[in-house]
């Protein structure tokens, strides 16, 4: 089943899940059939997480990445930084990805961020 994949900071995960997005928390990606990588492998191995992320982003109908509170210069944003970098490195994901920052929605067009009307 193809669904809305939710990516964001751990502290914002519940609000994203409340929007209907499937999140990494509580084996969401695995239970939704977005990845075959076990939650344990994805949680405790960067290689496992990246494989799960690749499968989940490919299999999702749409992606919502909430970067509210994200500061790229803070060195401990591990998962969020990898999620953002993965999306930026894969142009085939741009069209189905919406970035949310402080309640505002944006799309990346390959050159700049375009704010969507909310």
Half-sphere CA count of 112, side-chain side, radius 13 A = 3
Residues 83/10, Cβ–Cβ less than 8 Å: no
Rounded mean pLDDT, 19-36? 91
Per-residue confidence (pLDDT) for residue 9, from 0 to 100: 67
**Contact indicator for 46, 36 with CB cutoff of 8 Å:** no
Residue 95 banded pLDDT, cuts 50, 70, 90: very high
Report pLDDT for 32: 95
* pLDDT at position 1: 47
Report pLDDT for 30.
96
Q: Are 30 and 56 in contact (CB under 8 A)?
A: no
Which pLDDT belongs to residue 26?
85
* CA separation, residue 59 to residues 2, 3, 42, 116 (Å): 6, 8, 16, 24
| pLDDT tops 50 at residue 92 | yes
The length of the chain, given as a count of residues: 118
Nearest to 44 by CA among 36, 52, 35: 52
């Amino acid at each position: 089943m193809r669904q809305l994949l939710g990516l964001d900071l751990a502290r914002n995960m519940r609000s994203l899940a409340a929007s209907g997005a499937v999140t990494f928390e509580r084996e969401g990606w695995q239970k939704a059939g977005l990845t075959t990588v076990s939650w344990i492998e994805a949680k405790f191995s960067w290689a496992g997480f990246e494989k799960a992320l690749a499968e989940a982003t490919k299999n999702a109908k749409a992606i919502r990445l909430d970067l509210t509170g994200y500061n790229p210069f803070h060195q401990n944003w591990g998962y969020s930084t990898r999620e953002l970098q993965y999306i930026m490195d894969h142009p085939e994901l741009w069209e189905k990805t919406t970035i949310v920052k402080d309640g505002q929605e944006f799309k990346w067009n390959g050159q700049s961020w375009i704010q969507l009307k909310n």
